[in-house]
Every structure is written in C-alpha cells, then in structure tokens.
Amino acid sequence: MELICIVCPNSCRLKVTEGANGIEVEGARCKRGKQFAYDEMTCPMRTVCTSVRTTVKGFPVVSVRTSAEIPKDKIFKLMQMLANVTVTTPLPSGSVVLSKVFDSDVDVITTTDMEI
Ligand code: SF4
C-alpha cells in the first residue's frame, strides 16, 4: 500500500507492507512518518476542522476544530453531532462548543474570535 505522510509539509511517499515481521515502512524520512503509517494501518486519526451555526450578529457560522485527533471512522458521527450545535453568544477563540466527544478528552473548540 502507498500512503502520503501528512505529518509535515515534506509529504513523503510511503510504501507500507504487512508481513511476518509486522508492518514495514519504506520512504519515510523520519520516525514520525513510520508512526503515521503504523497508525494509518491500525487506527487512523484526524483533526477535524469545520464550522457550526451561530445566532450572533455578523457570524452566520463560526469555525471550529477538534482539540486533538479523533478516530477517522468517528468523523461522520461528529459532523452529525455538530449539526445540532448553535452558538448563541460571542465567544473568544478557543472556546469549547462540544466537550469530551466520544467520552474522550477531546473537545471541539472555536478557532475564530467572535468578540468585537
Ligand atoms: S516521513 Fe517525516 S519528513 Fe516525511 S512527511 Fe512524514 S513527518 Fe515529514
């Protein structure tokens, strides 16, 4: 399998094989790429960036992101949850709009300063 490492802007092209010795990775310029490939093969994780609705004047939506990575297969469920979130007061950047998603330590936080 071929993967492009997304950990840093070098975008190394990784060749990943799974054999008797476990997962082997070629093409990574550093250890982080090998870890990325291993994680992609076992439990791929992503930081999610999106937006949620608000009722605040001048902000029909506000940009948000997860405070850390979540399992890739939970992204769709998270988007469904965020569709039900509406921010009703101006918030500073970094405010939590959804806490402890999937019973983890990950929150969804704003990435825009709505305070004027
Ligand atoms: S393998 Fe290392 S150098 Fe290459 S893209 Fe990944 S993090 Fe960057």
Q: For residues 21-40, give the mean pLDDT.
A: 95
Residues 60 and 106 reside in one and the same domain: yes
pLDDT for the residue numbered 36? 94
How is the beta sheet containing 13-19 ordered, strand by strand? 2-4, 13-19, 22-26
20 lies in a domain?
A: yes
CA separation, residue 83 to residues 12, 40, 45, 110 (Å): 35, 27, 21, 15
pLDDT for the residue numbered 71? 95
Residues 60 and 28 reside in one and the same domain: no
Q: Indicate the top mutation candidate among 10, 25, 34, 38 to test ligand 1's pocket, ranked by most ligand atoms within 8 A of CB.
A: 10
Residues 9 and 24 reside in one and the same domain: yes
Q: Indicate the top mutation candidate among 29, 35, 36, 39 to test ligand 1's pocket, ranked by most ligand atoms within 8 A of CB.
A: 29
Residue 24 alpha carbon to ligand 1 centre in Å: 15
Ligand 1-lining residues (CB < 6 angstroms): 5, 7-8, 10-12, 28-30, 32-33, 36
Instruction: State pTM to two decimals.
Output: 0.82
21 lies in a domain?
A: yes
115 lies in a domain?
A: no
19 falls in which pLDDT band (50, 70, 90)?
confident
Residues 100 and 65 reside in one and the same domain: yes
Residue numbers of the domain that contains 57: 49-110
Does 2 have pLDDT greater than 80? yes
Residues 78 and 99 reside in one and the same domain: yes
Q: What share of the chain is helix, strand, coil (3-state, %, to 5)?
A: 20, 35, 45
The per-residue pLDDT for range 45-86, each reduced to its tens digit, is: 999 999 999 999 999 999 999 999 999 999 999 999 999 999
Residues 29 and 53 reside in one and the same domain: no
